[in-house]
Amino acid sequence: MKLNAVLLSATLAATSFMTVNAHADNATRVAAASALGSVAGTALGKNMGGTTGATIGAALGGAGGAAVASNKRHRTESAIGGALGGGAGYTVGQNMGGTNGGYIGAALGAAGGAALGNKISKDKEYDRYQERKWKKKRRR
């Protein structure tokens, strides 16, 4: 029965990726996909390996969700943020509120980490663009 619930939640998460993909802004899409991936990874990891497996699953799910929803240029930073946020969020949430707190913490941590990683990547890209633009003006 638990395996059916995990498979159903993974299917719903995959379906939500496509739905969120069509209607949301990029940062929102990345955060939502990372949160859903982290929750699915947490549930799967908890069934396979207990608390340690849930932490690893939260990190991998958060990274995978963020990578799926990110632009090619911002994929790495978003995945790193989703992984760190998901793993840390699960640990903190589980210590504060048990199993349900762990799921909520994993979702919130992965969403925040992925959105932050995406924003950092966009800011770095903009800074590189401004630097090149300034150098071109300086050469004339």
Query: Distance (Å, rounded) from C-alpha 126 to C-alpha 108?
Result: 27
CA angle (98 as vertex; 93, 103 as ends), nearest 5: 50
pLDDT band at 140 (very low <50, low <70, confident <90, very high): low
Query: Distance (Å, rounded) from C-alpha 65 to C-alpha 42?
Result: 13
Average pLDDT over residues 90-101: 91
CB under 8 Å to 14, separation ≥6 — which residues? none
% of the chain beyond a pLDDT of 70: 78
Neighbouring C-beta atoms of residue 71, cutoff 10 Å: 14
Which pLDDT value is given to residue 113? 95
pLDDT at 96 over 70: yes
* pTM of the predicted protein model: 0.77
Query: Distance (Å, rounded) from C-alpha 60 to C-alpha 66?
Result: 10
Average pLDDT over residues 37-43: 93
